[in-house]
Amino acid sequence: MKDTLSSAAPVIEARDLNLVFQTGDGPVHALKDVNLSINRGEFVSFIGPSGCGKTTFLRAIAALETPTGGTLTVNGMAPDAARRARAYGYVFQAAGLYPWRTIAGNVRLPLEIMGFSRADQDARVDRVLELVELGGFGRKFPWQLSGGMQQRASIARALAFDADILLMDEPFGALDEIVRDRLNEELLKLWNRTQKTIAFVTHSIPEAVYLSTKIVVMSPRPGRITDIIDSPLPTDRPLEIRDSQAFIDIAHRVRQGLRAGHVWKVFGKSLVLIQRAGCI
């Protein structure tokens, strides 16, 4: 836990947030009465089946969707004001690197758009590529890198302009499990070093439990929060922590939340052992 870093005002705060899409088949309630506070330096995962509104919530934070009710503030501002203030970097499921730009050129893209000086751009590109362990790959083109490396480059791109918040929408969802484990480890290290606030959408229970200080379990139709779990795991998390009882207990609680669609209840020990194989 990073309680020492938490300041009084939450970085992201949603109160009675509602978001209804008007579609051809009638209104779809993507988010219903969502209440959530995310403090500085937290690593918050959103987990739930598809259609539960986890990505929609992340997009609302990024001002890519507009809520139809309630309030949402980012750094105390409206989301679009926060965006103009460069409050966040966004990482998508696909790396989405421009094939016509080198890795360094891709990381440079937001800096060019935001008008950083050339010298500053160079320095920042070098720094963030080192941060994601891609130093020396700046002159390569995206197709010369593996999928995992491409996704690391897209994280570097989101870090380049020093936003305090990192919004990640299933960033490792398209990668195989071995690469995903490694990137999860690196992401935790990165979070420890940079003290960012991270909101992370995933559909993997072990990933959510391994990474997060706070896990938000969501449920679909209408998209809503069914459980918020504060993780008791220590900040320093080797991959082996996934075999610990604490980890398994949290994973179980997440699973219960997902299955029931309402707040987690008491569980039996034998059940935990049966589900262990599934979650690790």
Binding to other proteins by residue 99, rule CB under 8 A? yes
Residue written as tokens 């970097």? 89
Binding to other proteins by residue 123, rule CB under 8 A? no
Of 173 and 272, which CB lies nearer to other proteins in the complex structure? Answer: 173
Per-residue tokens: 58: 């992340």
Residue written as tokens 């690197």? 97
The window from 25-33, 112-120, 199-207, 210-218 that contacts other proteins (CB under 8 A) reads 112-120
The size of the interface with other proteins (CB under 8 A), counted in residues, is 26
> Using CB under 8 A as the criterion, what x/- string covers residues 30-69 for binding other proteins?
-----------------------------x--xxx-----
Binding to other proteins by residue 162, rule CB under 8 A? no
Distance (Å, rounded) from C-alpha 223 to C-alpha 209?
A: 21
Q: Compute the residue count for the chain.
A: 280
- Which of 22, 25, 119, 143 touches other proteins by CB under 8 A? 143
The window from 79-87, 126-134, 178-186, 229-237 that contacts other proteins (CB under 8 A) reads 79-87
At how many degrees (to 10) do helices 147-159 and 118-131 cross?
Answer: 130
Judged by DSSP in three states, 121 sits in: helix
Q: How far is the CB of 105 from other proteins (least distance, A)?
A: 9
Of 15 and 139, which CB lies nearer to other proteins in the complex structure? Answer: 139
Helix runs in 62-117, H state only? 79-84, 103-114
Of 18 and 102, which CB lies nearer to other proteins in the complex structure? Answer: 102
> Using CB under 8 A as the criterion, what x/- string covers residues 260-279 for binding other proteins?
--------------------
Judged by DSSP in three states, 111 sits in: helix
Q: Name the DSSP letter for residue 132.
A: T
Closest CA to 157 of 220, 225, 107: 107
The window from 32-40, 92-100, 117-125, 229-237 that contacts other proteins (CB under 8 A) reads 92-100
Q: How far is the CB of 174 from other proteins (least distance, A)?
A: 12
Q: How far is the CB of 92 from other proteins (least distance, A)?
A: 5
The window from 31-39, 89-97, 170-178, 200-208 that contacts other proteins (CB under 8 A) reads 89-97
DSSP line for 167-222: EEESTTTTS-HHHHHHHHHHHHHHHHHH--EEEEEES-HHHHHHH-SEEEEEETTT
Per-residue tokens: 175: 């990668």
Buried b (16+ CB within 10 A) or exposed e, 26-63: eebbbbbebebbbbbbbbbbbbbeebbbbbbbbbbbbb
Q: Which residues bind other proteins (CB under 8 A)?
A: 59, 62-64, 83-84, 86, 88-90, 92-94, 96, 98-102, 109-110, 112-114, 141, 143
